[in-house]
Amino acid sequence: MFGNHYRNRRVLITGHTGFKGSWLGLWLNELGAEVNGFSDQAPKPPSIHQSVAATIWKNDLRGDIADPKAVSRAITKTKPEIIFHMAAQPLVRLSYDRPMETWQTNVMGTANLLDSVRQQKRRTHVIVITTDKCYENRNWHHGYRESDSLGGHDVYSASKAGAELVTQSMRRSFFEPGKKLGNVASARAGNVIGGGDYAADRIIPDCVRSLRSGDAIRVRNPWATRPWQHVLDCLSGYLLLGWKLSTGGKNSNFADAFNFGPPAASNRNVRDLVEEVLKTWPGQWKNEGEANAPHEATLLHLSTDKAAQVLDWFPVWNFETAIAQTMEWYRVRHDRSRTDMNKFSTEQISGFVTAAREQGLHWA
């Protein structure tokens, strides 16, 4: 897979104890990479880091991404050839409660990481992971393109737009002219689902918590549409971008921003998602919209034309398969009381790769 590029490569994942970071670490471990992680703290159980990826790390480092000295120490220790920067405050609603922490983590954390690589003059290739919410949302029905305006109504979305601007300016000011430095790209994706996500105020974890307790699923905004995407589809884009960024030469057209999202048919509203969940795990849901709830966009959709044309990247699992695979993970973990989900999760990766190969995707 991925041209065997990751075998024996030193990789650093910031935010490695999180949902996407844990899945990425597990996949990179399967690809033969030396996988290192840097996060502020391990999440409390239950977490995917605890049940899947806790034992795969060459270095499992702790520190605040907003602390430049801690970031510099992590890079010095791991000497990464590739960095996937995922460390973030990732929740919209929490950003209303902790706005300054969100700005510090998402904007200054990104600046710290890129500046540490710059100051150490490492030929390290960096993929900065942001979100589909980094765009100025105008409730368009068509997908946002990488050339569209960045922005954000809420603090989280605006902070991710800020992270994109930091990435762009650091790339243009230092990495492009820096002969000793590697390439920098950013990856924009969101509404990622999959087994092992237990964060608050995310619809799939909320569904799982309600179903496990026998309660009706409380839905805040059933008509909001989102581009739902399985975590492995999202990560296949990150890994493909990392491979191309590392091998395409200095300042190639891979050193840029890319959207990764599902097929247009997977752009469904929250009600559709919850009802699909209930096909796999019987229960009920109820509409509990809050009168004074924090702002959330009604429509959100990404164009992935650039990823298709430049990277030859395409999604693998459709909406129904993504939901089924996600809920199967939780049923195995909780109905069968399996605390070690490493084997099952690697089997899901293998199944995903097989499906990609059957579709003729070149990275597989």
Retrieve residue 279's tokens.
């096909």
pLDDT band per the 50, 70, 90 thresholds, residue 297: low
Across 12-26, 42-56, 59-73, 193-207, least confident range: 42-56
Q: What is the pLDDT of residues 252-261, one digit of tens each?
A: 999 999 999 9
CA-based nearest residue to 188, from 228, 134, 231, 143: 134
Given a cut of 60, is residue 291 above it in pLDDT?
Answer: no
Q: The whole model's pTM is what?
A: 0.95
Strand partners, 287: 219
Q: Which residue has the higher pLDDT, 79 or 289?
A: 79
> Strands 225-227 and 267-269, how do they pair?
antiparallel
Retrieve residue 192's tokens.
């990622």
Confidence (pLDDT) at 51: 80
Confidence (pLDDT) at 69: 97
Q: Of how many residues is the chain composed?
A: 364
Strand partners, 184: 126
pLDDT band per the 50, 70, 90 thresholds, residue 243: very high
Q: What is the pLDDT of residues 191-203, one digit of tens each?
A: 899 999 998 889 9
Across 53-62, 146-155, 320-329, least confident range: 53-62
Average pLDDT rounded to a whole number, residues 58-80:
97
pLDDT band per the 50, 70, 90 thresholds, residue 182: very high
Confidence (pLDDT) at 265: 83
Q: Which residue has the higher pLDDT, 45 or 37?
A: 37
pLDDT band per the 50, 70, 90 thresholds, residue 295: low
Given a cut of 70, is residue 294 above it in pLDDT?
Answer: no
Residue where the block lists tokens 């969101």: 190
Domains in the chain: boundaries: 2-358
What's the angle, vertex CA 54, arms to CA 93 and CA 19, rounded to 5?
A: 25
Given a cut of 70, is residue 250 above it in pLDDT?
Answer: yes
Share of the chain above pLDDT 90, in %: 79
DSSP structure class, residue 302: B
CA-based nearest residue to 185, from 80, 83, 109: 83
Q: What is the pLDDT of residues 201-215, one digit of tens each?
A: 899 999 999 999 999
In CATH terms, 2-358 corresponds, of 1.10.3720.10, 3.40.1190.20, 3.40.50.300, 3.40.50.720, to 3.40.50.720
Q: What is the pLDDT of residues 90-110, one digit of tens each?
A: 888 889 999 999 999 999 999
Given a cut of 90, is residue 335 above it in pLDDT?
Answer: no
Given a cut of 90, is residue 12 above it in pLDDT?
Answer: yes
Q: What mean pLDDT, rounded, does the chain reach?
A: 93
Three-state SS string over 133-202 comes to: HHECCCCCCCCECCCCCECCCCHHHHHHHHHHHHHHHHHHHHHCCCCCCCCEEEEECCCEECCCCCCCCC
Given a cut of 80, is residue 293 above it in pLDDT?
Answer: no
Residues 6+ apart with CB under 8 A from 65: 14, 15, 38, 40, 71, 87, 105, 109, 112, 113
